[in-house]
A and B are shown apart, each in its own frame.
Chain A
Amino acid sequence: MTERRPTELEGQSPGGKRKGLKLIGTPHRRVDGMAKVTGQTVFADDFVAPRMVHMKLVRSTVPHARILRIDTSLAERMPGVLGVLTGESMPNTFGILPVSQDEHVLCRDLVRFVGDPVVAIAATTEEVAAEAALAVVVDYEPLPTISSVAEAIATPEPQMHDYADQGNIHKVVSMRFGDVDAGFAEADLILEDDCFFEGNTHLAMEQHATVAIPEPDGKITVYSSTQTPHYLHKAMTKVLEKPASHIRIIAAPNGGGFGGKSDPFNHEICAAKMALQLGRPVKVCLTREEVFYCHRGRHPVQMHLRTGFTRDGRMTAQHLKTALDGGAYGSYGVASTYYTGALQTVTYKLPRYQFDSIRAFTNKPPCGPKRGHGTPQPRFGFEVHLDKAAEKLGICPGELRLKNVVEPNTVTANYLKVGSIGLRKCIEAVMEGSNFKERHRKLPFGRGLGLACSSYLTGAGLPIYWNHMPHSGVQLKFDRSGGIAAFCGETEIGQGSDTVLAACIAEVLGVDLMDIRLCVADTDLTPVDLGSYSSRVTIMMGNAAIQAAERARELIAKAVAEKLELPVSRLVFADRRVFDAEDPEKGLDWPDAVIAAESKFGTLGTTGSYSPPRSPGKFRGAGVGPSPCYSYSACVLEVEVDPETGLYTVDHVWMAHDVGQSINAASVMGQIEGSIYMGLGEATMEESAFRRLPARLSNALVHKFPSLLEYKSPTFLDMPKMTTYVIEDPDPNGPFGAKEVGQGPLLPMMPALANAIYDAVGVRVDQVPIGPHMILKGLDDKAKGKPGRYGPGPFPAFDFGEPLDVPTLDEGGDGKATNNAARGLREDRGTMKIIKS
């Protein structure tokens, strides 16, 4: 970890260009790079408007209660206080999913967790607003609280939300793809495991902030740190009861998102309401503690896996059960629930598959989508499970995985269409890089290697609300100076999407990144892009941008061809020129080419848009999991464990990622390294922990440590050496063949660590984060002759009823369920129910 071990670039040039590509695939400076190193990037809290006032939210200090009385009189009398809002002013509910419209901007009758907003106060300064917020008195009548899935099952009443599937179980899912029993009957080995993945949070460095600016004509502009301006726009329209065209959302560059700014939030809508009420701009910037309350982080998930293997290591069937602790609201939870099962099938061949899941409501901040959304938890379980299977079967864990890699261009048991797969190359790369075969199971006691793989979707195949419009749109405007203005609703959250947009256009038109001016994430000015979630921006915006640029190239080529008296087919767009392929001297500089086109066609502008291909699944729940293509990762991790203390150090991580094709090779590396970092945090230390006080003394149920100090995230001194392999196997659905890279490489970190620890000291830790006490306990148990396992107890008892039966393609299935009617209750329930407000 401390030692600097220089490694040379072996052989080939990295970021190599492919088949005539000029910019795509090379490492290049981000278009927002200089702004970010000069302090010029304007994050939401950096924005200042004339006459601006400041808002604070008063949040619930009790975990579950009926609001009896709100007294704001003391606060209102404080000098500088300008406005007060309570839930009465905003009766409409909102939420990210149409099926979970369960939030009020300010609570009206019930508060459901410590941190639920109740009152908003605006004042001349943030300081006065904060003081006034402390002076608000709210009387509560306490209600019983729920802190875990087991408690939610045991406490059906009182219901936290009346729309739950049953009691306080928000969502129940049970689906069976194929004759799973027959699959298990074929197995030589049936392995069962119980695993647990603790919740954790995004911890973006920027605290959420919003500035709402009312306009004299009654419209309003909202500048906010959001990953999803379009969905915020919809939520705001619903709550404010104003026409959507009168509300303009501009997403500020996010100071980190990771999924934590993907929901519409109370503070954003409330700032707009307050601004409209006061007729003055209103800013709200959350404290770090409040950011922990917004949460929407990783769901704590308990899992039970049961998998059948043949003697030679093929899988015959899997039955996965997951139980999600959802927190107090729906958020993306229905999708999260499905995601804990959906992607099990796209990595390894699983001919038959059953998936049962529940999501419980608990009196804690709502969980939602964090990098990997719902998939890291079952991925952890699966990859640890496979490590155990490999040992039992006497097969190298790498070989076992290679044996089972899904074939390209196939459809999985649960009807996901898989295109390109670079997983085989990923596994080979990290095994070779780490010398896995020679060293695994052969290192001295205390040192170990662990292998794990994963896959992730490149953009959700369906939008969050049902519609037939594009998922992303790009508009180009050409100036006779040669400048190109590109308009797109995409949101820069640090992942480099602005640069991807510019690069796709520059590549097609042969211009420089500097020729392009971006106008992004503005609901008034830019065509919709659904947002920076589900690793969808590069593929969807990229394809839209290519289409818009190609349409422009066609127009410009026509005009230039006419002017140069050449066939269009001979024209090349490169180096800021349009020229004859056979006589490169003959051509027009880029601005002259644009002038030629504008002279011929009038004012120049083009559009492009993208919608993902349709997916073959036609059963309830088939909406979650489909994607235009899937990325793949493989990881080997080396750990040193001190058997005296259980403390361990991750020394080296080898991570290979199948990105299809790099757009910006530097950004691809950055995303892989950032994923390793965040995965390491989740594996080793990050946890959203809660605590109760003794029941006889207090009803409290609080976040244990909502602070950057006590919620542990790795520092510069905690990072291992990293070796990154970028696997380029272009996918036909990706822009220039590109697939996602922002989320996938996080996933294998957690199981790789658990597997490495087992290799090092023979202790199985079936949960994350892995604390040193777990390893020490395992070692102590082993010394006493007990199994060296640390992990959760059995999966909570729950009757999932009869599963939705969907025969697989191999069984002659057509993607439809065969027993919709038999399942009565759930017949009309699904993930895509439209609720009109």
Chain B
Amino acid sequence: MMRLPKFRFEMPGTLAEAAAIVAENPDRTRLVAGGTDLWPNLKRRHQEAGCVVSLAKVAGIAGIAGDGATGVTIGAMTTLAEICENDMLARDYPGFVRAVRSISAPVLRNMGTIGGNLCLDTRCTYYNQNEEWRRSIGYCMKAEGTVCWVAPGSSRCWATSATDSAPVLCAIGATIKLVSTEGERVIDLAALYQDDGIDYLTKRRDEILTELRLPAVGGAKSSYWKLRRRGSIDFPVLGVGAMLELDDQGVCTRAAVWLGAVRSAPVACADAAAHLVGKKIDENVVAEAAKLARKPAAPLDNTDFVVAWRKTMVERYVDGVLRELAGLPEKVKNPRHGIACV
């Protein structure tokens, strides 16, 4: 059996206590929510922790309040399963719920939290490996090494953003609350991420993500398509989160298209969105937007499937999502949504 390394373990009851413990030594302290990301990373020794602070007993950072008319707040410790089972969310934010339902498998969603999924470590097949395996490649830039093996000439790490929930949440303009001993701040979720496989979050190590806020729905529709090998368990190889608002004439008033798993951060397809806004949405407009969405995607050979094909899939999946949102006839089938997302 693979075992965890030793660490100091704390289970504070309040946010203030938690923030205080983290502030003692932010670089050597890790927060754990559901544990489904941190524990494997510690077992494989590609992350370290002198101290682990569990948020499980912290009061007041779980639960779902509000609705689509006014906006919704979701505590960071809310489990993914609770989000999947929430009728209001399914009605008002179906794209978000579909994204959450596509995360791993039900048993893991009972444990994993929304805060954890938003902060999910970037992933790479050169990095998510045991200590012994990583030793055999001389480690990599993200942990203990110097080279990014996916792009050996590169000066940065290209580990991939693997969160399913973020692309669609960025598309609908969600915000998050960060708390530390120095106070709290609310930022756009999109601003939480930066395109670097190592420093993929802008959040300071002493800050705790406590809350996710979804804006009122208004006329917006949103959706999420996920590409993965199997019907369950797998991380996204591509995630497309999109929001579309059409007026009575079918003219697009607002649009956002975000891609997951093709860079170290969720990436906005600004050109694609700009192409949609102000136009009556038909198949040609959608197809052109989908073509534009290819550009910001930079899939590399550090996850499942072949790189060139994944790049092609960006266009096909964006096309598919936008068709779905615009009520256009289906072209690309979405085979991996049938069961996981009823």
Nearest-neighbour CB distance to chain A for B84, whole angstroms, equals: 15
Out of A285, A702, A714, A776, which one reaches B136, CB within 8 Å? Answer: A702
How far apart sit A773 and B339, CA to CA, in the bound complex (Å)? Answer: 23
Q: Among residues 118 to 168 in chain B, which have CB atoms less than 8 Å away from a CB atom of chain A?
A: 125, 128-133, 135-138, 147, 149, 152
Q: Which residue of A lies closest to B147 (CB)?
A: A697
CB atoms of B233 and A776 under 8 A apart: no
A718-B316 contact given A61-B136, A126-B3, A706-B133, CB 8 Å threshold: no
Would you give the shortest CB distance from B42 to chain A, in whole angstroms?
A: 13
Answer whether residue A49 sits at the interface, using C-beta atoms and an 8 A cutoff. Answer: no
Query: Which residues of the partner chain B approach A717 to less than 8 Å between Cβ atoms?
Result: 230-232, 339-340
Among listed B16-24, B69-77, B257-265, B301-309, interface-contacting one = B301-309
List A contacts of B149 (CB < 8 A). 693
Q: Do A773 and B1 contact each other (CB < 8 Å), given the known contacts A289-B133, A685-B229, A717-B232?
A: no
List 9 tightest A-B contacts by C-beta distance, closest first.
Answer: A717-B231, A773-B309, A61-B136, A644-B332, A773-B306, A642-B333, A715-B232, A61-B135, A700-B137
Residues of A within 8 A of B1 (CB): 126, 285, 287
Min Cβ gap B152→A in Å is 5
Q: Please report B residues at the A interface, Cβ cutoff 8 Å.
A: 1-3, 105, 125, 128-133, 135-138, 147, 149, 152, 229-235, 304-306, 308-309, 312-313, 316, 331-333, 335, 338-340
Indicate whether A645 sits within 8 Å of B333 (C-beta atoms), given known contacts A705-B125, A718-B231. yes
Q: Contact: B230 with A114, CB < 8 Å? A: no
Least Cβ distance of A620 to chain B in Å? 40
What residues of B have a CB within 8 angstroms of the CB of A63 in the complex?
136
Shortest distance in angstroms between A737's beta carbon and chain B's nearest beta carbon? 39
Tell me if A611 is interfacial: C-beta within 8 Å of chain B.
no
Report how far A715 CA is from B339 CA in the complex, Å: 12
**Segment 708-740 of A: residues with Cβ below 8 Å from B:** 709-710, 712, 714-718
User: Is A709 a contact of B233 with CB atoms below 8 Å?
Assistant: yes
CA gap between A768 and B340 in the complex, in Å: 27
Give the complex CA separation of A61 and B1 in angstroms. Answer: 20
Q: Are B308 and A773 in contact (CB under 8 A)?
A: yes
Considering the complex, give the chain B residue whose CB is closest to the CB of A716.
Answer: B232
Residues of A within 8 A of B (CB): 1-2, 59-63, 114, 126-127, 130, 134, 285, 287-289, 642, 644-649, 685, 693-694, 697-698, 700, 702-707, 709-710, 712, 714-718, 771-773, 776
Kindly report which residue of chain B lies nearest to residue A287, judged by CB atoms: B2
Q: Identify which of B130, B137, B235, B306 gathers the most chain A CB atoms within 10 Å of its CB.
A: B137
**CA of A289 to CA of B339 in the docked complex: distance in angstroms?**
31
What residues of B have a CB within 8 angstroms of the CB of A716 in the complex?
231-232
Contacts of B133 in A (CB 8 A): 114, 289, 702-703, 706
**With the chains together, A63 CA to B136 CA distance in Å?**
8
Report yes or no: A693 in contact with B335, Cβ–Cβ below 8 A: no
Some 21 contacts from A to B, beta carbons below 8 A apart, are A1-B339, A2-B338, A60-B136, A61-B135, A127-B3, A130-B2, A130-B3, A289-B129, A644-B332, A645-B313, A648-B335, A700-B137, A705-B125, A706-B130, A707-B129, A710-B304, A717-B232, A718-B230, A771-B309, A772-B305, A773-B306
Q: Main secondary structure on chain B at its contact with chain A?
A: loop
A118 to chain B, nearest CB (A): 12
12 further A-B pairs in the complex, CB-CB below 8 A; given A2-B339, A61-B135, A715-B232: A1-B338, A1-B339, A2-B338, A62-B136, A63-B136, A642-B332, A702-B137, A710-B128, A712-B234, A714-B230, A715-B105, A773-B309
B305 touches A773 (CB 8 A): yes
Q: Which residues of B contact A709 (CB under 8 A)?
A: 128, 233-235
Check B305 against A642 for contact (C-beta < 8 Å).
Answer: no
* Complex-state Cα separation, A711 to B47, whole angstroms: 22
Neighbouring A residues of B309 by C-beta, 8 Å: 646, 771-773, 776
Measured CB to CB, the closest approach of chain B to A399, in angstroms, equals 33
Give Cα distance in the complex from A1 to B337, angstroms.
12
Q: How far is the CA of A700 from the CA of B132 in the complex (A)?
A: 13
CA distance A114 to B333 in the complex (A): 41
User: How distant is the Cα of A753 from the Cα of B282 in the complex, in angstroms?
Assistant: 37
Find the B residue at minimum CB distance from A712.
B229
User: Nearest Cβ in chain B — how far from A67, in angstroms?
Assistant: 15
Chain B residue nearest to A706 (CB atoms) is: B133
A138 CB, nearest partner CB in chain B, Å: 11
CA distance A1 to B131 in the complex (A): 39
Contacts of B135 in A (CB 8 A): 61
Report the Cα distance A442→B253, complex, angstroms. Answer: 46
Whole-angstrom distance from the CB of A836 to the nearest CB of chain B?
A: 37
In contact, B132 and A644 (Cβ under 8 angstroms): no
Are A771 and B306 interface neighbours, CB within 8 A? yes
Cβ–Cβ contact A715 & B233, under 8 A: yes
A698 touches B138 (CB 8 A): yes
CB of B231 within 8 A of CB of A647, answer no
A642-B333, A644-B316 known; A704 vs B125 contact (CB < 8 Å): yes
Complex: how many Å from CA A2 to CA B235? 22
Instruction: For the complex, give the distance between the alpha carbons of A35 and B306 in Å.
Output: 44
B121 CB to nearest A CB, Å: 14
Q: What CA separation (Å) do A714 and B232 show in the bound complex?
A: 9
A698 to B149, CA, bound (A): 10
> Which residues of B sit under 8 angstroms from A685, Cβ to Cβ?
229-230
Distance, CA A287 to CA B130, complexed state (A)? 10
A26 smallest CB distance to B (angstroms): 35
Q: Are B230 and A700 in contact, with the CB atoms below 8 A?
A: no
Nearest chain A CB to B147 CB, angstrom units: 6
Residue of B nearest to A694 (CB): B152
Chain B residues whose CB sits within 8 angstroms of the CB of A697 once the complex forms = 147, 152
Whose C-beta in chain B lies nearest to the C-beta of A641?
A: B333
Q: Which residue of B lies closest to A128 (CB)?
A: B3
Q: In whole angstroms, how far apart are the Cα atoms of A717 and B331 in the complex?
A: 23
| Nearest CB in chain A: distance from B306 CB, A | 4
CB-based nearest B residue for A59: B132
Q: How far is the CA of A694 from the CA of B229 in the complex (A)?
A: 27
Interface centre among A647, A703, A716 (most CB of B within 10 A): A647
Q: A717-B231, A773-B306 are in contact. Are A649 and B335 (CB under 8 A)?
A: yes
Q: In the complex, what residues of B have CB within 8 A of residue A289's CB?
A: 129-130, 132-133
How distant is A726 from chain B, measured CB to nearest CB, in Å?
A: 28
| Option from B3, B132, B137, B332 in Cβ contact (under 8 Å) with A698 | B137
A-chain residues with CB within 8 Å of residue B304 when the two chains form the complex:
710, 712
* Chain A residues within an 8 Å CB radius of B234: 709, 712
Bound form: Cα–Cα A61–B129 in Å: 13
Contacts of B230 in A (CB 8 A): 685, 712, 714-715, 717-718
Q: Which residue of A lies closest to B135 (CB)?
A: A61
A339 to B235 Cα, complex, angstroms: 38
Asked whether, in the complex, the Cβ of A715 is within 8 Å of the Cβ of B231, the reply is yes
**Beta-carbon nearest neighbor of A133 in chain B:** B132
